Amino acid sequence: MSVQRTPQRVRAEVELRVPRGAMGDLEQGVHDVLSKVDAVGCVERAEVRDVRPTSFDIHVTVAAALEVRAERADVRETLLDGFGIERLEHVEYG
- Encode pLDDT of 22-74 as tens digits: 668 999 999 999 999 999 999 999 999 999 999 999 999 999 999 999 999 99
Whether 76 shows a pLDDT value over 90: the answer reads: yes
**Domains of the chain in sequence order:** 7-93 (3.30.70)
Task: Round the CA-based radius of gyration of the chain to a whole number and report it.
Answer: 13
Residue 77's alpha-carbon distances to 27, 45, 67, 82, in angstroms, are 24, 20, 15, 9
Angle at 52 between CA 27 and CA 58, to 5 degrees: 55
Give yes or no for a contact between 43 and 18, defined as CB atoms under 8 angstroms apart: no
E-state strands within 20-78: 40-53, 57-69
Whether 2 shows a pLDDT value over 80: the answer reads: no
Whether 1 shows a pLDDT value over 50: the answer reads: no
**Residue 4: pLDDT band with limits 50, 70, 90:** low
Specify the pLDDT at position 6.
Answer: 81
